Amino acid sequence: METAPHDPAFEAPSVEELQPLFPSYDIELFIAQGGMGAVYKARQTSLDRPVALKILPKEFGADPQFRASFQDEAKAMARLNHPNLIAVYDFGDVEGMLFIIMEYVEGATLHHSAHGKKIEQTEAARLAAGICRGLAHAHQHGILHRDIKPANVLLTASAQPKIGDFGLARPVGAHHGDELIFGTPGYSAPEVLNHPERVDQRADIYSMGVIFYELLTGRLPGETWQPPSSVIGSDPAFDPILRRAMHPSPEMRYADADQIADDLESAASKIRGPLRRQAGATPATPGRVPVAGARPVRTTLPSAKSSGSPAAIAIVVLLVLGGVAALVAVALNGGNEAPPTARPSVPESTPAPKPEGATPRPPREKPAPNPANSGRQRPSEGSGRDLAGNDRPRDREKPMPKPDPEPAPAPEPIPEPAAPEPIFDTFSFLDKGRTALARDAGELFQEHEKELLKNVERFERGLKRVVRRVDRQHRDRGEALIEQVMAPIRGNNRLTKLPIDKLPGFLEGYSGELREVFAEALEDQEKIDRELESQLEPLRDAYVNGISRQVDALREKDDPAAVAILETEARKTADSLPRFIRILKGEDPDPPAEPEDAPDGEEQNKKD
């Protein structure tokens, strides 16, 4: 229902008080009460089916605007019929009290079942895909939910998700006069708070992405993108799906909830076996979700019949938890080091290490020389002289070479002590600062793009002026050449190099003018870029100074780990304006370096 102030004086009527008002239903028990009213389990006598009865305080029914919104909501929900949506059967008004009859779901909310827990990734993908299917059905009927969150998703006894509480639902394109801000902090898309008049189905998709991120990692995402694979070691195939679903700009998100469901199901189908399971991940079955961290997670084999011994299963569990722990350790250390590559269970061409304290096996003795061959000499050998004719001692039998001693087993590497964890929440601190600055820089980037577009248009007009002077016989070819040149430039509104390497014969006489047009446009582009840089400098100074002030405060609190993180961030940003621009655009500020092209064989030979 539409959000309204909670009335502390509201008391849910008892089953006995409510029963006379609903003669067509047998009201069986009271379920819960909240700020929006109370919910009861009942049975519709005519169809002999269980239903959920939700009533609202009479004060809500006395508000004409709220009453109209309530009716719109009920009618909108009644048009929906999907296994991942809670069905609406009826609604009305009894003695000034609004009510709605809904499908009864035997189960708990997703919030109750999975809050704070890391759900096994294929199970999380299944739940998220189901939510997407329900949303897609609602969107196809022109209905937005606008408050997708775990508390509004119920899980059936078979762990099937069902979206309910379309209390903030409204037809697509409908607007309230005052454009109230709906939604829930943490799950709402940026435009819900900043531009509620522009909200469409992509806001629901954003919220669903947050839910999936939370199911995978056990926590809400920060305002700066951090892939779940780097947070918890989940499969990297989910990273681009989540990145697109949760993109700050609606234009960059999925527009169709069915499409993200397809992508989730496809990624999950390629994950084989239990070794992909995250440490601490749990199933999302309602009512049986163990407390996170209470005991080690037991990983089962994928087949229905377990054929492995308890010892073998324990080894698999240790391997899984050990691998994930390594990934998490790298993530906590800043991701600067690649995780160690797991060794195969049976290394090829590698002797197995010997246990400590084991007695080395004595070397195998070689057979003694044959006495029959002891008198033989090579043709060049004499009995008393060397090859130069000098006297030498009589040859003695050469001793047998000693076998190479077997190498001692390599000592076990001593693990480096884990880096200290910061006490201060540096991640949230940087997120808040970056978000505030990105908001301030948004108009600057828009103006910059407009100026670049104008410059490209001027460049195109300059080219056309030159081509118009060509004789009519070649003018069409010249215009076609301009179109060929401009096509890639229009894609990003930037000039990088002279687009025409070799002019056709009919334009050779105009090469000087064409190069002049290009040089002028390139100079103007550089001026536009410098103008943006000068406008961004104060924002960068504010960002770095804010970090420096926080560093000074943390030094007094003896938090060296947080100080090191923030000092690194301040130094990198102060040294690189392009890095700061990536921060403002919501991109990875420290992308991996692109590998350099390897020299071909001929060049390599020259170097050698």
pLDDT at 380: 40
Q: Where are the chain's structural domains? A: 15-103, 110-282, 426-584
Q: Which amino acid is located at 273 in the chain?
A: G
What pLDDT does residue 500 have? 59
pLDDT of residue 408: 64
pLDDT of residue 172: 42
Between 119-123, 266-270, 380-384, the lowest mean confidence (pLDDT) is in: 380-384
Listed as own residue / partner, the contacts of 147-150 with beta carbons closer than 8 Å and 24 or more positions apart are: 147/182, 147/183, 147/184, 147/187, 147/188, 147/207, 148/187, 148/204, 148/207, 148/208, 148/211, 149/111, 149/184, 149/187, 149/207, 149/211, 150/109, 150/110, 150/111, 150/114, 150/115, 150/211, 150/214
Can you tell me the mean pLDDT for 289-313? Answer: 32
Top mean-pLDDT range of 85-99, 321-335, 502-516: 85-99
Top mean pLDDT of 25-29, 115-119, 171-175, 591-595 is at 25-29
For residues 107 and 568, the model is more confident at: 568
pLDDT of residue 112: 86
Q: Summarize the confidence of residues 51-75 as an average pLDDT.
A: 86
The token pair at 403 is 């076998």
Residue in the structure block whose two tokens are 């394109």: 173
- The arithmetic mean of pLDDT across residues 440-452, rounded, is 88
- Whether the pLDDT of residue 566 is over 90: the answer is yes
Q: What DSSP designation does 234 have? A: -
What residues contact 383, with CB distance under 8 A and at least 6 apart?
Answer: 377, 394, 395
Report d(CA 294, CA 297) in Å as an integer. Answer: 9
> What integer pLDDT is reported at residue 569 of this predicted model?
93
**What local confidence, expressed as pLDDT, does residue 203 receive?**
94
Is residue 276 scored above 50 in pLDDT? no
pLDDT(326) > 80:
no
What pLDDT score was predicted for residue 167?
54
Most confident of 36-40, 276-280, 478-482, 576-580: 576-580
pLDDT score of 400? 60
pLDDT surpassing 70 at residue 296: no
pLDDT-above-70 percentage for the chain: 67
How confident is the model at residue 409, as a pLDDT? 65
The C-alpha atoms of residue 487 and residue 491 are separated, in whole angstroms, by 7
Residue pLDDT, tens place only, 341-392: 333 332 333 333 443 444 444 444 444 444 444 444 443 444 444 434 444 4
Q: What tens digit of pLDDT does each residue of 573-594 get?
A: 999 999 999 999 888 888 877 6
Q: Exposed, middle or buried by CB within 10 Å (0-12, 13-18, 19+), for 491? A: exposed
Query: Which of 172, 170, 258, 171 lies closest to 208 in space, CA to CA?
Result: 258
Cα radius of gyration (the chain): 36
Percent of all residues in the chain with a pLDDT value above 90, rounded to a whole number: 34
Phi–psi pair at 146, nearest 5 degrees: 75, 0
Q: What is the pLDDT of residue 480?
A: 85
Average pLDDT of the residues of the chain: 74
More confident residue, 311 or 35: 35
Q: Which is higher by pLDDT, 188 or 174? A: 188
**Structure letter (DSSP) for residue 172:** T
pLDDT tens figures, 185-236: 789 898 887 788 889 999 999 999 999 999 999 999 986 788 999 999 999 9
Report d(CA 155, CA 150) in Å as an integer: 10
Q: What is the DSSP letter of 21?
A: G
Closest CA to 451 of 518, 529, 522, 539: 529
Residues taking part in catalysis: 147
Q: Which comes out higher in pLDDT, residue 176 or 432? A: 432
Q: Please give the pLDDT value at position 69.
A: 81
pLDDT of residue 405: 63
Arch. (CATH architecture) of 15-103: 2-Layer Sandwich (3.30)
Q: How far lies 546's CA from each of 82, 215, 521, 542, 589, in Å?
A: 50, 33, 38, 6, 18
Interval 129-146: pLDDT, tens: 999 999 999 999 988 888
pLDDT at 145 (0 to 100): 87
pLDDT of 490 above 90: no
Architecture of the domain spanning 110-282? Orthogonal Bundle (1.10)
The helix (H) or strand (E) run that includes residue 511 is helix 511-556
